Structure 1
Amino acid sequence: MSQTAHTIEAVHHIGMTVASLETALRFWEAFLGKPARWTTVLDRPYLSRVVGYPNVAINAAFIDLPGGGVIELLDYRVAGRTANADATANPGNVHLCLKVADARSTWQRAVDCGAKPISPDGPVAIDGGPNIGAQAAYLRIHDGITLELFQTPRKDRSA
């Protein structure tokens, strides 16, 4: 097999399993300021083979992110679902990091849309390592999912 066959080309989408599609859409549509590109019920026979749930049906929505990428919100119609603990340190916890132009105003927008800040004072200045001078903030959104906002260091404009 050639090396090309194993080449990763790009991120296709980021999937998030949610307890309520409506609740998740309320946050993302308000936060991004635009509606989902597509909402549907996914229930084709191939899907059961992919996800491992016989005869599965999933309420789904697809939301385009600025700069490319898609968030896929998935509300599985199966019995016995349980929420994951929302602590970032728990194994299996994943976060979505969005690069933003202004961490403070984007943080405030997320809070206004219902996100719960980890640091109540807002974005934190990074004071060491390769991202020195940047700002970052973690927030909890629907279903305990962690959203990170990351503002790259501002360039010295006097140079």
Structure 2
Amino acid sequence: MSGFQVLRTNHTSFTVSDLDRTCGFFEDALGFEVISRAPRDPALIGQITGVEGADIEVAYVQGPGHRLELIQYLAPDDRRQVEAKPCDTGFAHLAFDVTDVDAAIAASQVFGFRPINPPAPIDKGPNAGSRVVYLRDLDGVTIEYIEKSE
């Protein structure tokens, strides 16, 4: 043992370009609750992240069994959008079990999420019998919806 233990997962974080749009998606499409939203001290954020001149606003959204941190950087000016593909090292996505994949897709499209491909049936592993789809938003945030078989 290493002398400490992980107690629980605190949050998963995504950097986004439009905090209003992304919070709206999680609230209105998925039913999450925004539990906190505020700017942070640039000096502290620079110390934590190593990003000099970081000016951010942070929102926490709470969903069933998990909390997300959404960060919008207002500075520095040299930030850029990364378009990682699922095969790229470091790529991440959120996966949600849903009751209806097609309804989830429709609700997500209102907020700029687009399916990468139509839902696909899974024939192996713990999700065998499920329908699965990946969707991406304008920031490259990727969501997976899994509709379990009855």
Fold match, TM over 0.5? yes
Normalised by the shorter chain, which TM-score bucket? Answer: 0.7 to 0.9
Instruction: State the Cα distance separating 1:127 from its structure 2 match.
Output: 1.6
Aligned mates of 1:20, 1:130 — CA distance in 2: 35
Are the equivalent residues in 1 in contact too, given 2:61–2:68 (CA < 8 A)? yes
Structure 1 or 2: larger helix share? Answer: 1
Are the equivalent residues in 1 in contact too, given 2:56–2:72 (CA < 8 A)? yes
Aligned-partner SS, 1:37 = strand
TM-score by length of 1: 0.81
Does residue 1:141 correspond to 2:137, yes or no? yes
The residue number in structure 2 matching 1:128 is 124
**Aligned ranges for residues 1-150 of structure 1 at < 5 Å?**
3=1, 5-33=3-31, 35-43=33-41, 45-66=43-64, 68-76=65-73, 77-119=75-117, 121=118, 123-150=119-146
Structure 1 unaligned regions, length at least 5: 155-159
Instruction: State the Cα distance separating 1:21 from its structure 2 match.
Output: 1.6
TM-score by length of 2: 0.85
Aligned-partner SS, 1:49 = helix
Instruction: State the Cα distance separating 1:28 from its structure 2 match.
Output: 2.1
Opposite residue 149 of structure 2, the aligned amino acid is P
Are the equivalent residues in 1 in contact too, given 2:113–2:135 (CA < 8 A)? yes
Are the equivalent residues in 2 in contact too, given 1:24–1:142 (CA < 8 A)? no
Are the equivalent residues in 1 in contact too, given 2:101–2:131 (CA < 8 A)? yes
The C-alpha deviation readout for 1:49-74, integer Å capped at 9, x for no partner, is 211123532111111112x2111111
Q: What is the aligned residue count?
A: 149
Change (3 A) 1:152 1:8: farther
Instruction: State the Cα distance separating 1:23 from its structure 2 match.
Output: 2.7
Are the equivalent residues in 1 in contact too, given 2:21–2:111 (CA < 8 A)? no
Aligned mates of 1:139, 1:22 — CA distance in 2: 19
Q: CA RMSD in A?
A: 2.1
Structure 2 unaligned regions, length at least 5: none
Q: Which has the larger radius of gyration?
A: 1
The residue number in structure 2 matching 1:153 is 149
Structure 1 or 2: larger strand share? Answer: 2
